[in-house]
Amino acid sequence: MADSFVLEAQKYLNGTYGHNSNWVHLDENGMTGGLMMEGLVRAFQIEHEVPSVTGYLGPYTVNVMRSLNDIEKMDPSDEPSNDVKLIQCALFCKGYHAGGITGIYYTNGVNAVKQYQEDAGLKTSGVIDWKVWQGLFSMGWFQLVPGGDPTLRVIQRSINADWSSVIGVQPCEGVMSRNTALSLIGCLQGALNLQTWIPDLTSVVFGPATQSAFSQHPLYEGCSEPALVKIAKYALYFYGFGQTEFSSTFTSGMRLNVVNFQKEYGLTGLDGVVSGQIHLTTMMSLLTSRGNPNRSCTGGDTSQILSRQMCVNLKAAGYNVIGRYLTGTVGVGAAERPKYLTPEEIGNIQDAGLSVFPIYQNGGYYADYFKISGRGSYDAVTALRTAAVLGFPEETVIYFAVDFDCMSYQTESLIIPYFRQIANAFRQAAFNPKNYKIGIYGPREVCRQISAEGLAEYSFVADMSTGFSGNLGFPIPSNWAFDQFDEFTFGPSPAFPLDKVAVSGRDGGARKNDVGGSVTTAEMLQEARSKFTRRVLSALGFTARKRIDFEFEVGEQVLPPVS
C-alpha cells in the first residue's frame, strides 16, 4: 500500500541526488522495498563521499556511520541538515512519523527516533547515533510483522540491548533470519572477549579460537556465566525445546531442555557430552547446523565405489551404515568417474558387517534441475528400477537429493511438486512392487516441509552445508535418520573422501540385498549409453547450447529419456 510520506521521501531523494552520476532513479510510488532502501544508502554514500557508491550497507559504510557525530534535538532556528533529512526519510520508510523532511531534528523526529530505539531494544535516548543510522538504513524491520513470533522478537530485542555494540543492530520483526541465527555466534565471541566489533555477521564462524575459548566456560546448573547462559537459552528456543525463560541463570528447567536437545540431536553418550550440561560439542550443535565436526559417528556417505578392503577398514573404525548412490557419475572431463552402486560393491559392504542406504542424485544441486517437466517421475522410476535390480529389500528408504540453498518459495514452487511426482510413482505397484519408501536429502527446513506434506518417510539432513538458509536457526526435522556434518579423507590405505553422518536409528539401511541377478541390466546399459552419448555431444559442442533428450530401446523395453 502506497504511503504519502514514503512518496515524499522518494521525490526528495530524486530531486536532491538525481544530478549525481551515481544516483539510480527511484520509482515514485510511495512503496518501501529493497530498491527504496538501496536508494537511501546510496544517498548517504553520495552525501558522505563513500568511495564506492553501491547502495549496499556494507562494513565500510557502517564504519562511516560510526564515525559521525551524534545529533541531538535541534532548535527550530538552526540551519537545516542534509543528514537529518536523510534520517527523516529513513524514519518514514520504517513506518515512523517524523513530521516532514525539514532538516531540523525537533519534537516529531526525536519522538520517532525514540520509538525506533524502543522497538529495536536500544536505549531510548532520542539521540541520533550510529545505531540509529545503521538500523534505519538496513533492510531490517523493527516492529512485529504479521505471522511473526512475539517470543522470537523478545530475543531479538534482547540481543540488540546486550550486543548491538559488537554485532550491530539486528532486525526485531519476529522472523527467523540468517542474521538472527548468526548473531548468536557473534554474541558468543563478544562474551568471550574475542571480538569488540564485527562489521559483517556473514563472516563469523565457530572456529578454533572460539572453540578453545568456550571450552574454558562450560555451562551447567548453577554456573556463573550469565551472558553465555542467555545465548544458550536463545538457541534452545530457536530449536523448539520449550525454553521461554531468558534470565541469565542456568535453571533446572534449562537443564531438562538441554537433556532433551542432546537426545534429539544424537549427542547423548558421545565423548565430551555430559547430560544436561553444555560443553563444546553441545554448544556447537546449538549455534551451528553441523555442530562439532570432530565428534564421533557411526554413519558415512561417499561417492567412492568401495572395495572389500575399504569396507573392512570402515567397519574397524566404528562405522555401521554407509550411504551410496544408485546411479550417476562425479567429476567432469578426464576426472569423471562412476559413483553408482554395483552388486559386487553391495557384497563388499554387507560382507564387512555394514548396512547401506541408497541415495538418488543425478543433479539436484541447482534450482533449474527441478523445473524440468516430469523430472520427479523420471527420477522416481529410475531409482525404483535401479534399487530393485540391486536387490534392496522391501520398504527400503531411497533418499532423493535437494542439494542447493533452497528458499521457501522454491520449496513451494519446485520441490513439493517434484516430490509429489515421486510419490505418485511410488504409489503404483507396477513401478514399486517392493513398497520402497521415499526419503529426502536436503537442508533442515526443506526436509521438514516435504515431510510435513507427507512426501518423505525420513530425512537425510545436509547439515554440513552451514551456509544454507534452511539450516541456520532451524531445528533438525523430527524424522531425521541421517545427519551429514563433515567431510574428510578416510584412511588407512586405500584412502578416499568420506562424509561423516550421525545416525538416529530410525533407518538402519539394508543389511542383506538379493543381488543374484545379472550385472548386465537394462539400467546399467542405459547408464553406459547415456554417459557415452553425453560425452560425444559435449565433444561436438551441442550440450552447452541446449538440452537434448534421448531414449534407448533395450530389448522390448523403452527406458525414460535421459537429459
**pLDDT per residue over 56-85, tens digit each?**
999 999 999 999 999 999 999 999 999 999
d(CA 248, CA 364): 44
3 state DSSP class of 34: helix
Residues 324 and 341 sit within 8 Å (Cβ to Cβ): yes
pLDDT band, very low/low/confident/very high, at 527 (cuts 50, 70, 90): low
Classify burial at 406, counting beta carbons within 10 Å of its beta carbon; exposed 0-12, middle 13-18, buried 19 or more.
buried
The pLDDT-based confidence of 546 (bands split at 50, 70, 90) is: very low
Instruction: Measure the CA–CA gap between 465 and 442, rounded to whole angstroms.
Output: 9
- Rounded Cα distance between 192 and 305, Å, is 45
The predicted pLDDT at position 558 comes to 39
Instruction: Give the three cell numbers for residue 105.
Output: 531534528
Q: SS3 of 458, please?
A: strand
Q: For 343-366, what is the mean pLDDT?
A: 97
Report whether pLDDT(313) > 70. Answer: yes
Judged against a pLDDT cut of 90, whether residue 547 lies above it is answered with: no
Predicted local confidence at residue 510, as pLDDT: 98
Q: Are 230 and 158 in contact (CB under 8 A)?
A: yes
Q: Looking at per-residue confidence, does 517 or 195 come out higher?
A: 195
Report, as an integer, the average pLDDT of 398-402. 98
Q: State the average pLDDT over residues 189-205.
A: 95
The C-alpha cell of 318 is what? 566404528
All structural domains of the chain, each given as residue ranges with its CATH number in brackets, are 4-142 (no CATH), 157-287 (no CATH), 299-515 (3.20.20.80), 520-563 (no CATH)
- pLDDT at position 484 is 98
Q: Residue 534 — pLDDT band, cuts 50, 70, 90? A: low
Give me the pLDDT at residue 562, please: 40
Residues 304-330 have a mean pLDDT of 97
Check whether 289 has a pLDDT greater than 90: yes
Q: Which helix (H) or strand (E) holds 459?
A: strand 458-461
pLDDT tens-place string over residues 458-503 = 999 999 999 899 998 899 999 999 999 999 999 988 999 999 999 9
How does the average pLDDT of the chain come out, rounded?
A: 93
Contact 341, 527 (CB under 8 A): no
pLDDT score of 140 more than 70: yes
Residue 332: per-residue pLDDT: 87
Say which DSSP state 219 is in: B
What's the pLDDT score for residue 492? 87
Better-predicted residue by pLDDT, 202 or 449: 449
Residue 562: phi, psi to the nearest 5?
-110, 135
User: Is a pLDDT exceeding 70 seen at residue 292?
Assistant: yes
Name beta bridge partners: 550. 562
What gap in Å lies between CA 513 and CA 129, rounded to an integer? 68
What is the β-pairing status of strands 299-301 and 321-325?
parallel
Which distant-in-sequence residues (6+ apart) come within 8 Å of 269 by Cβ?
none
Non-local CB neighbours of 275 within 8 Å, separated by 6+ positions: 259, 262, 268
Is residue 533 very low, low, confident or very high in pLDDT (cuts 50, 70, 90)?
A: low
Nearest CA among 163, 216, 169 for reference residue 185: 163
Predicted pLDDT at 541: 59
- Grid cell 574428510 in the structure block, residue: 488
- Residue listed under C-alpha cell 533449474: 368
* Cell reading at 131: 545505531
Q: Confidence band (pLDDT; 50, 70, 90) for 526?
A: low
pLDDT band at 528, cuts 50/70/90? very low
